Amino acid sequence: MKEIKLFKKSKINAEIEVVPDKSITHRAIMLASLASGDCVIKNFLSSADCYSTINAFRNLGVSITDTENELLIKGTGINCLKNPTAQIDAENSGTTARLLSGILAGQNFVSTIVGDESLSKRPMKRIIEPLRQMNVEISAVEDNYLPMTIKGNPFLKPLLYNSKISSAQVKSCILFAGMFADGITTYKEPILSRDHTERMMKYLNLPIEIKNKKISLKGPVKKIEPFEIEIPNDPSSASYFIALALLLENSNIIIKNVCINPTRIGFINVLIKMGAKITFLNQRILYNEPVADVLVKSSRLRSIKLNKEDVPSTIDEIPLLATVATQAVGVTEIRDAKELRLKESDRIKTICSQLTEMGAKIIEQEDGMIIMGGTKLKPSKVNSFNDHRIAMSLAVASSVVDGKTVLLNPDCVKISFPNFWELFKSV
């Protein structure tokens, strides 16, 4: 599908479920592949990104059987992955490439990770440098980009790493590598990033200690017991329908079984500060992750200044926040978000240019943007630039436009939300 035609929506009144969480699915596949026996992952995200991880581990000798809503993974044991028969293709998935690197660092063979054109432009030095400090030999294009070749070392050196950036991918890579190190590997970050890896390791009784922004893992980990887990639904995917309900008058929606991990609901917290009527119902803990049903009612929103501390837990939703801010009262300022330039597209540039095309008054900044609220958006032709977050954010923008919006390259949503267009049209 090269383009899709979108039209203004009237009020919505619905109860829905969005797709399972992408971040948790990746990590569950990786740890299950290293477990000593059969593992079951229920309600996994069947998206292109997650299949990049599934196929990577199949290439490493792991038997993975997928049905419509669950995975059966026959874990090889932590030190028993096989030398891959071909290069490991992470395709578009930065999570696959970066987290898998930490696991490959502790194996007794040489492997090469490649990716598509977009992923091959995303920086890898942020994981290369700490892994080298753990005595891993790594080569990469310009010492920073895929293809990247890792000469595994099953006797890694433990590491104390003070990260200058808050990145769950860097943190997870180092913690995975720490499972193969003889001693305590510690990771510190300036602001707490999403913590699914630590939570899952804790659930699996691995020797991990968590103190705010400092996480320590004692290695070597000899065995991961087989496990069963059910993945909650993705808060990032839910955010597009939260935004829809807020922007369309006289609307309300309930989104079922959403992960409300505090490191993942920065977008919701920001919206509440803007005046959004959002309530968590039926709160519970499942497999060490907080889950709830999210009730959203249409609201009159006011502008906000996004703080540096808000960015790590809001990073995926910032293009959507910019979209919502065009309809809020006042001027919204988003700063300290330069990391957005290193995503599937330069998300600062793409969302600013495409919202401007729709009539928004938005000023691009090196590390963010300034958005004038209360803007009437206009019919136009816009482009996702093959970035799933941009495509879905522009879909939300189209819902308040009097007329037809044409979106180019809409199929990229399959990266994280395969049935997005069907669900978006149904509500």
Distance CA 417, CA 19 (A): 6
CA–CA separation, 195 and 177 (whole Å): 16
262's tokens? 């505090």
Would you say how long the chain is, in residues? 427
Please state whether the peptide bond connecting residue 207 to the residue before it is cis, i.e. omega within 30 degrees of 0: no
- Write out the two tokens for 56: 């990577």
DSSP assignment letter at 317: G
Contact 377, 359 (CB under 8 A): yes
Buried b (16+ CB within 10 A) or exposed e, 67-92: eeeebebbbbebbebeebeeebbbbb
Q: Enter the tokens of residue 227.
A: 């496990």
Phi, psi of 367 (to 5 degrees): -115, 20
Among candidate residues 195, 316, 367, 411, the one labeled active-site is 316
Q: Please spell the DSSP secondary structure of 168-230, one letter per residue.
A: HHHHHHHHHHHTTBSEEEEEE-SS----HHHHHHHHTT-SEEEETTEEEEEE--------EEE
- For residue 375, give both structure tokens: 């803007």
333 phi/psi in degrees, rounded to 5: -120, 125
**CB-based contact 318:347 (threshold 8 Å):** yes
Identify the helix (H) or strand (E) that includes residue 34.
helix 22-34
- Judged by DSSP in three states, 93 sits in coil
Phi, psi of 107 (to 5 degrees): -95, 165
Q: Is 316 a catalytic residue?
A: yes
Rounded Cα distance, 156 and 133, in Å: 9
Nearest CA among 246, 251, 241, 244 for reference residue 300: 246
Q: How large is the C-alpha radius of gyration of the chain?
A: 21
Can you tell me the distance from the alpha carbon of 370 to that of 380, in angstroms, rounded to the nearest whole number? 21
Supply the residues annotated as catalytic: 316
